[in-house]
Structure 1
Amino acid sequence: MDEARDPGGLTKVIYLLVLSGAWGMQMWITFVSGFLLFPALPRHTFGLVQSKLFPFYFHICMVCAFVNFGILVSQLTWAQLTFWETSQFCLLLLCLLLAVINARWLEPRTTAAMWAMQALEKDRGLGGEMPSSREGPHPYHQLREQDPKYSSLRRIFFRYHGFSNLCNLGCLLSNGFCLVGLALSLNHL
C-alpha cells in the first residue's frame, strides 16, 4: 500500500497479528495437536476432543479471515490494484470462503457422522481401546463388513472429513502466502 492510502499503525498491527495468529493456530491444529493426541487417547475420547475443538477452531479461522479481508478491502484503491494487492485480495477471499464452508457446513456434518459411527461402535463394545492396540482381526474391519449402515456412515464421515481437511489446508496456504508476501514487501527489518 502506498503512502496516500496508508491505513495507520494500529490497523497494520491488527492485520498482522490476526493473520499471523490465525496461521500459527492453523499450523498447530493441523500438524501438531492431532498427531500428539491420536496415539495418546482412546478412540472415542479422541473423537470427543476433536468434536469440541474443531467447531471453535473453524469459527476462529472464519472470524480471523473476515477481519483480515475486511481490513484489506477497506484499504484498497480499486482502480489501481497492484499484482500483490489483487493476489492478497484473492487469497483472503478464498480463505474466508473455505473457513465459512468448514465452520458452517462441513464440520457439523463430519461430527454428526462421527457420533452415529461411535454409537454403533459402542453397541459392539468398541471405542475405548487405544488406536495402537491391535490384537487379532481388526474389529472395525469386521464391523464395516458386517454392518452396511456402519460402512455407509464411515464413507460419509471420511468424505466430509477429507473435504474439511482440504478446506483447512487451503486456508493455511492462503494465510501462509499472505504472510510470505508481507515478508517480501518489507523494506528493512
Structure 2
Amino acid sequence: MEGSIPGQETMPTDMEPSNTIKLLHLVFLSTSWGMQIWVTFVAGFVMGSRLPRHTYGFIQHELFPYYFHIGSACAFLNLTLFAMHHPSELLSDEQATQIIVFFICVTASVLNTQWFGQATSDIVADMHLIERSHGLGQEVGLFTSKSCRQLRASNPGYRQLSGQLTLYHTLSSLCNLCCIACNGLSLYYLAAHLSAL
C-alpha cells in the first residue's frame, strides 16, 4: 500500500469486537428473543386458558412492566454494542439494515414500555373494578363471558373502557410482534455470520 510504513499492518476496515462483547451481544439478543417467544406464544395462552380472568390480569399487570423494561434494555444494548463496532462510515448495506432493525426494535420496545403496555394494564385494572362490583371476573378462559358482554351493552363506562382496551392492546401487541420480528432478523443476521457452530 502506497505510503504505508514497512512492517506495520494496516488497520482493519471494521473494529473487531472482543469475545466478551460478542458474548454480551448474544446474551442480550437471545434473552430478549427467548423471553418474547415464551411470554407471547406459551405463557400467555396457557395462563389465559387455565386461570380465572382476574387472576390472569393481575399476573400480567405485575409481570409485564418487567417484561417490557427488560426487552427495552436488551434492545438498547444490542443497538449500542452493534453500533460501537460498526462505524457509520464503514457500514455495508447489510450492516446498515441491521442498525435500522435494532433501532426499530428499541423504538417499539420503548413505546410499549412507556405508553401502550402501561395503558393496557391500567385499563384492565379499571375494568376489573367494575366487573367485581357486578360479581364477575372468576370465569376461566381467554374469551369474554356472556355476562361481560351484557355488562358492556348496559354500562356506558365499561363499554368505553372496553373500546380503549381493544385499541391499546392491539397497539401493544403490534409493538411486541414488531420486536419479535426484529429480533428474529437479527438472529438470522448473526447466524449468517457464524463461521462455525
Relative to the length of structure 1, the TM-score reads: 0.93
One of 123, 126, 135 as aligned partner of 1:113: 123
Q: Give the number of the structure whose residues are more often helix, by fraction.
A: 1
For the pair 1:148 / 2:130, whether they are aligned, the reply is no
**Rg: which structure is higher?**
2
For the pair 1:18 / 2:28, whether they are aligned, the reply is yes
Root mean square deviation of aligned Cα: 1.7
For 2:108 and 2:140, the matched residues in 1 are separated by 33
% identical aligned pairs = 36
* Equivalences, count: 186
Deviation, 1:31, is 0.4
Note the residue ranges of structure 2 that are not aligned, 5 or more in a row.
1-11
After TM superposition, the structure 1 = structure 2 runs for residues 124-143 of structure 1, keeping only pairs within 5 Å, are 124-131=134-141, 138-143=146-151
Give the aligned partner of residue 3 of structure 2: none
In structure 2, do the counterparts of structure 1 residues 10 and 116 end up closer, same or farther at CA, with 3 Å as the change threshold?
same
One of 162, 167, 185 as aligned partner of 2:193: 185
For 2:143 and 2:44, the matched residues in 1 are separated by 18
Give the aligned partner of residue 38 of structure 1: 48
Give the aligned partner of residue 175 of structure 2: 167
Note the residue ranges of structure 1 that are not aligned, 5 or more in a row.
none
Deviations 1:117-158 (A, max 9, x none): 111111110001222799xx8111110110111011001011
Amino acid at match of 1:48: F
Deviation, 1:114, is 0.6
Deviation, 1:188, is 2.6
8 Å Cα contact 2:28/2:74 also seen in 1: yes
Relative to the length of structure 2, the TM-score reads: 0.90
For 1:133 and 1:180, the matched residues in 2 are separated by 35
For the pair 1:57 / 2:67, whether they are aligned, the reply is yes
For 1:85 and 1:179, the matched residues in 2 are separated by 13
Q: What's the secondary structure of 1:5's corresponding residue?
A: coil
Once superposed, which parts of structure 1, at least 4 consecutive aligned residues long, lie more than 3 Å away? none
Q: What's the secondary structure of 1:23's corresponding residue?
A: helix
For the pair 1:86 / 2:96, whether they are aligned, the reply is yes
